[in-house]
Amino acid sequence: MSDNINKRFNPKDRTILYDFWNSLPKIKFVKDAEKVYYSHTARQAILKALGEGIKEVSTINTDKAVIRRALSAHEIFNRIKVYKEEKRDIQAINWDDFDISLHNLYFHIQKLEDANLIQTVTILREGRHNVSYYGRTAQVLIFRIDYEEYDRIKDAFTAMAKLAPHINSTLSSEEILDFYDKYVRIGQSHSGILFERLAEFEKPLQETDVDPVDIANFIELLLTVNPSFVKLLGEITEYLGLKF
């Protein structure tokens, strides 16, 4: 074992496998590594395995079952095999066409680590081998790119701003763009709401093998009917004189 590894990790200390999760940032918005994540379905499966973790009786506290979210490559590989057997619904993964070897898994782990989406939590001495354990760099990684989403919405608002005066001469292009600014402000406030709700669920999430990303997606779904959004969209509809 190298001196650098000795300085960074205690090769006999397994407590970090259980403790590191609570020290992670709750949410990380990914804006420059999403291509790494989406370029191969194996990487989505890896992050899913690291989010759900493994339920086991801790060797530190032998009378309590805990969720361990620091996994070795072999453990990640075995979790993915289970996902394939169960045909687990994970984004766009087609399990009938999915195949990966342990050797290729290491390649994808390295790519995710280079992109700072996962990290080496520790390296433990197990028998004659040094075993690396990997974990996420945040409890929840949000891969929906906010600025791209707002650019897409802005294009729609900009188009309507140009068209509106031709529909009705009393309509103002500036007013339409003001509506867009309000839309963005409401959307940006969702990040804080999402953080607060996940903080409330912290203890239950520690006790179950549920991926916090799935809970974040559920909360985001509920936020799409945020009263502030509904009110704003109603104001826009009324301003344009549209009926649905």
What's the mean pLDDT in 173-197?
A: 85
pLDDT at position 1: 40
Strand locations in 46-205, DSSP E?
Answer: 54-57, 65-68, 71-72, 118-126, 129-136, 140-142
What's the mean pLDDT in 128-135?
A: 94
Residue 219 has pLDDT above 60, yes or no: yes
What mean pLDDT, rounded, does the chain reach?
Answer: 85
pLDDT at position 148: 54
pLDDT at position 190: 76
Residue 5 has pLDDT above 50, yes or no: no
pLDDT at position 9: 54
Kindly state the tokens that stand for 84. 């394939």
State the pLDDT confidence band at 7, using cuts at 50, 70 and 90: very low
Question: What number of other Cβ atoms are within 10 A of residue 118's Cβ?
Answer: 24
Q: Which of 101-105, 153-157, 239-243 ranks highest by mean pLDDT?
A: 101-105
Q: Which of 59, 53, 74, 50 is nearest to 13 (CA)?
A: 59
Among 11-15, 33-37, 66-70, 167-171, name the one with the lowest average pLDDT.
Answer: 11-15
What's the mean pLDDT in 153-177?
A: 92
Give pLDDT tens digits for 12-41.
678 899 889 989 988 887 777 878 888 888
Sign of CA dihedral 87, 89, 94, 99: negative
pLDDT at position 6: 42
Residue 180 has pLDDT above 80, yes or no: yes
- 3-142 maps to CATH 1.10.10.10: yes
DSSP single-letter state for residue 70: -
What's the mean pLDDT in 62-83?
A: 90
Domain boundary assignment for the chain: 3-142, 146-240
What's the mean pLDDT in 187-195?
A: 77
| pLDDT: which is higher, 209 or 58 | 209
pLDDT at position 11: 58
What's the mean pLDDT in 171-200?
A: 85
Render the burial of 159-182: b for 16+ CB within 10 Å, e for the rest: ebbeebeeeeeebeeeebeebbee
CB 80 within 8 A of CB 104: no
